[in-house]
Chains A and B, each alone.
Chain A
Amino acid sequence: MPESRSIPPRVWILAALALAVAVVVIIGPALFDRFTLNVLTRSMIYAMLAVTVDILWGYTGILTFGQAAFFGAGAYASAMVLSHLGATPAMLALALALAILVPMLLGAFVGWLSFGHGSTPLYATVISLVVPIVVTQLVFSGGVWTGSSSGLVGYSGLPLGLQGYFRLTGICLIITTVIALVFTRSDDGKLLVAIRDNEARCAYLGLDPQRLKIALTTILAGVAGIAGFLYANASGVVAPESTGFVFGTEIVIWTALGGRGTIIGPVMGAIGIDYLSAQLSGDLPFLWNLVVGALFVVMIILLPNGLAQLAGMVLPRRHGEQASQAGSPGLAAEAAGNGAENGNRVLAVSGLGKSFGSLQVLQGIDLDVRPGELVSLVGPNGAGKTTLMRCLSDGTEATTGRVSIAGQDISGMTPDEIVALGVGRKFQVASVFDSLTVADCLRLARASRKAPSLLRRSATLGLPAAAADILRSTGLDGMLGRPVSLLSHGQKQSLELAMVVALEPKLILLDEPTAGLTKVERTTIGATLQKLTGELGFAAILVEHDLDFVRDISTRIVVLHQGKLVLDGSVDQVVNSEMVRTIYSGGAHA
């Protein structure tokens, strides 16, 4: 995404753009005939919906057809109040309130249904298909209340007239678009992309992606409800079609053709396509839909990011500039608040077991870890090392036994809750956010401690001293503005370690942090780990195959074999034991 980094010019451009559009909206009625005004009013309402779909789908990666249901619910709530109770100012206010509240309640419910712990993106899409169908059927079965299949007509709404509605809708669209632009480009908006890129990492940064998605669904349902209110007033008619799943797919089509993840693109897409449909459908109704459908297919296959992507290819990109130092945020070290409570156990595991069906992967694991310890977990492939790490960082994993972090039992807790207790987990394959910059990733790692701004983009990046040290020793401090996708494998590993340390955990879990790294990079990471545990009082558990590496840096070694903990002792005890030689003989060293 090419975008300038410093705030003032962006704001000016945005303000100027909004102003220019506002002028068009204000003088528009003088330029257009009745038909065009009518159509454009409707198109602009649809454009508001396209913005909500873009935030959900383009930014957060949730493909939804459900916005149609929220739109329809808002429209019907308004129309029902206005038809059955009249259009007095009080009732209009009630209609607006209900048009926002009803969809939001529905949205909260749908969000809760769609985003449980461990639900798949496909399931959310499935639910978003079912919701419009259910709402449509409710409308059909509503009898006189909803007008059933013929809809509701002949009620009066806001006393505005054609031109008034055009202006009101235009202003609402500008406000929606500006808010969406500011939000998606703020520090908080990066969260959406982070969720799309790597939901697991979000959870292991102590964020609750499911709750965020439910909140997002709820709020955007409210926005769709407002659009529904405008529609019910401006068109003077609501029909079951505007709640349906086919309409939901149309919104997605506009968004896709305009360019997902750009906000402006979907607005243009919705207005352009809806306006052209109205103009052309009189002459060649089927052909027009045919063309739109065919374009949509081609677009999804060849240009998944829409026309905006094409524009991006033609116009010079600003990646080079972004990668340079010019605009990258300053690094500010914060005082570390990692009070090492020596002596207390950070981690206590007793009788831990895990089985998949009848296959017992772990059994009877007992393990204590104290602050300042660097415990290495070794064992041949399939010994259950990674499974053990999972059981320590996700309370829903273990089958039997008890794991407590800082004295608190974690059974049933989700990863983000365990992170809040002070556990940071580094994955075997570097788990970072590919679409973001280095600075954004680190800022997200701090998000669970310091809520990011909804509106602004910070110019500085505040990190604990330990995390800043890692950046300096690996040279990442010079590439804060660089997109993560351009980093090398080793740099990604270091970045992830810095992100985990930035959480200021009491206990760090590291799953083969040196896999695939060069000798120099290994040494750097080893030194960093020793410093974190020896000097700063972190505790760490390290899964590692390389016994030489382990011998150099560990304070204690634990051997896992066939799901059982067979040895737990000092470095010398373990390295010289007969058992380890037996287990590792025959080259289980992969």
Chain B
Amino acid sequence: MTLLLDMVTTAAILFIVAAGLLAIFGVLKIINFAHGAWLTIGAYCAVATAGLGLNPWAALPIAFAVGAILGGITELVIVRPLYRRPLDAILATWGLGIVIGQLITLWFGRDVQFTPNLLSGTVDVFGVGYSLYRLCAVAAALVIGLAFTFLLEGTRLGLSAQAVIMNETLARALGIDTARVRLATFMVGTGLAALAGVLLTPLTSVDPNMGVAWLIGSFMLVMVAGSSFSTLAIACLVFGGTQVLVSTFVSPIFGGITVAVLCALVLRISPKGFARA
């Protein structure tokens, strides 16, 4: 039973972390290698919020705002010239990640930071005590997934974003301000990444390089998922579940590379991943 819960909650956490990256990749076809840095920014927002003596939950909106604002600046200055050079965009955002990591180190020091728990304790699920926070992660993942579905299906921005995904030239010809759609998408994606960073704080230690560890896994999941949130959810369930199984029954070390290796193999067999219609 615990195993099953572990599988579901791990998938949920992966989904939360990868969602911001997917939003950007899905619409902009750009891989934001500074994604890890935004997770770190989010986590340090939680640290700063705690330092100011505010309610730990206040970190969530603060992180989203900070992440989105910084993301907006990044899109304008760094990403915009590179839409036609996607491989260079990977490199430039990676470089940005280094810069952000160093700035955080200069500001907060390189030591591990601790944040107050958002939720502590366990609850009984079918007679087994289980971490309340991990269960809440599932709820958070659902909320994010649904919010995105609503954003894409139910709002004007979402409609424009879909148009940009399908045929950017046509979208522009139809009078959609694609530059603004891109800016907005990038801001939502980075805001989400920072939000995910806050949600990660009770699960991992907070240090300037914490994001890198999460980057590759979410990157691979996004490559498999393509541009759809439902395929991302499936990919997270399948690969996250396998990761838990491998960690439990084989070795935690191999568990750590399960997602990356499996995704690479899936992409070799079917270059479009799970996104095939």
Q: Which residues, 101 to 157 on A, are CB-close (under 8 Å) to B? A: 113, 116, 118-123, 125-127, 129-130, 133-134, 137, 140-141
Contacting residues, chain B, for A116 (C-beta < 8 A): 268
CA distance A234 to B86 in the complex (A): 38
Taking a contact as CB atoms under 8 Å apart, the answer to whether B98 and A256 are in contact is no
Whole-angstrom CA separation of A245 from B94 in the bound complex: 12
Contact B268 A292 (CB under 8 A): no
**B103 — which chain A residues lie within 8 A by C-beta?**
290
Interface size on A, as a range, is 35 or more
Partner of B92 from the list A125, A127, A249, A300 (CB cut-off 8 Å) is: A300
A304 within 8 A of B: yes
Secondary structure at chain B's binding surface: helix, strand, loop or mixed?
helix
Chain A residues whose C-beta falls within 8 Å of the C-beta of B97 in the assembled complex: 293
**Residue of chain A at shortest CB distance from B110:** A286
| Cα A300 to Cα B263 with chains together (Å) | 28
B216 touches A133 (CB 8 A): yes
- Rounded to whole angstroms, the CA-CA distance of A129 and B220 in the bound complex is 10
Which of B40-48, B176-184, B186-194, B250-258 has 4 or more CB atoms under 8 Å from chain A?
B250-258
Bits for A287-324, please: 1 = Cβ < 8 Å to B, else 0. Answer: 10110111011001100100000000000000000000
- Mask: chain B, 214-249; 1 = CB below 8 Å from A; 0 = not: 001001100100000000000000000000000000
B267: A residues at CB distance < 8 A:
123, 126
Residue in chain B with minimal CB distance to A302: B81
B105 pairs with A130, CB closer than 8 A: no
Are A125 and B90 closer than 8 Å at their CB atoms?
A: yes
Partner of A130, one of B78, B88, B264: B264
Does A253 sit within 8 A of B, measured CB to CB?
A: yes
Task: Give the shortest distance, in Å, between B85 (CB) and chain A (any CB).
Answer: 7
B160 to chain A, nearest CB (A): 25
In the assembled complex, the CB of A311 is this many whole angstroms from the nearest CB of chain B, namely 20
Measured between C-beta atoms, what is the minimum distance from B108 to chain A in Å? 11
B95 on the A face (CB < 8 A): yes
Identity of the chain A residue whose Cβ is nearest the Cβ of B223 in the assembled complex: A126
Residue A480 CB within 8 A of the other chain: no
Given contacts A129-B216, A133-B260, A137-B254, A293 and B271 within 8 Å (CB-CB):
no
Question: Is the pair B78, A297 in contact by a Cβ cutoff of 8 Å?
Answer: yes
Residues of B99-121 at the interface with A, using a CB-CB cut-off of 8 Å, are 99, 102-103, 105-106, 110
- Does A252 sit within 8 A of B, measured CB to CB? yes
Q: Cβ of A63 < 8 Å from any Cβ of B?
A: yes
- CB pair B216–A63 under 8 Å, yes or no, is no
Are A292 and B98 in contact (CB-based, < 8 A)? yes
Min C-beta distance of B75 to chain A, whole Å:
13
A487 contacts chain B at the CB level, 8 A cutoff:
no
A246 at interface, CB cutoff 8 A: yes
Q: Is the CB of A287 within 8 A of B91?
A: no
> Which of chain B's residues 60-78 have a Cβ closer than 8 Å to chain A?
78
Q: With A134-B261, A141-B254 in contact, is A122–B86 under 8 Å at CB?
A: yes
Given contacts A130-B261, A137-B254, A140-B253, contact A287 B87 (CB under 8 A): no
Instruction: Report the minimum CB–CB distance from A268 to chain B (whole Å).
Output: 19
8 Å CB contact of B260 from A134, A141, A256 = A134
Task: Give the docked Cα–Cα distance between A569 and B257 (Å).
Answer: 62
Whether the Cβ atoms of A137 and B257 lie closer than 8 Å is yes
Q: Are B102 and A301 in contact (CB under 8 A)?
A: no
A126–B220 CB distance below 8 A: yes
Nearest Cβ in chain A — how far from B97, in angstroms? 8
Pairwise interchain contact B264-A113, C-beta atoms closer than 8 A: yes
Pair B90/A301 contact, Cβ less than 8 Å: no
B96 nearest in chain A by CB position? A297
* Contact status B94-A286, CB under 8 Å: no
B5 in contact (CB, < 8 A)? no
B97 and chain A: residue at smallest CB distance = A293
Would you give the 0/1 interface string for B121-147, flagging 1 where the beta carbon is closer than 8 Å to chain A? 000000000000000000000000000
Chain B residues with CB under 8 Å of A137's CB are 253-254, 256-257
Q: Are A301 and B99 in contact (CB under 8 A)?
A: no
Residues of B within 8 A of A133 (CB): 216, 257, 260
Residues of the A chain whose Cβ atoms lie less than 8 Å from the Cβ of B223: 122, 126
B216 with A245: CB separation less than 8 A: yes
Q: Are A63 and B253 in contact (CB under 8 A)?
A: no
B165, CB-defined interface residue at 8 Å: no
In-complex Cβ contact of A301 among B78, B94, B268 (8 A): B78
Q: Is the CB of B102 within 8 A of A127?
A: no
Taking A137-B256, A246-B212, A300-B92 as known contacts, 8 extra A-B pairs with beta carbons closer than 8 A to each other, sorted by chain A number, are A113-B268, A116-B268, A130-B257, A133-B257, A253-B91, A290-B106, A296-B95, A297-B99
Q: Return 14 A-B CB contacts under 8 Å, by A number.
A: A125-B87, A130-B257, A134-B261, A140-B253, A141-B254, A256-B91, A286-B105, A290-B98, A290-B106, A297-B78, A297-B96, A300-B82, A300-B88, A300-B91
Task: Show the binding face of A for B, using Cβ within 8 Å.
Answer: 63, 113, 116, 118-123, 125-127, 129-130, 133-134, 137, 140-141, 245-246, 249, 252-253, 256, 286-287, 289-290, 292-294, 296-297, 300-301, 304
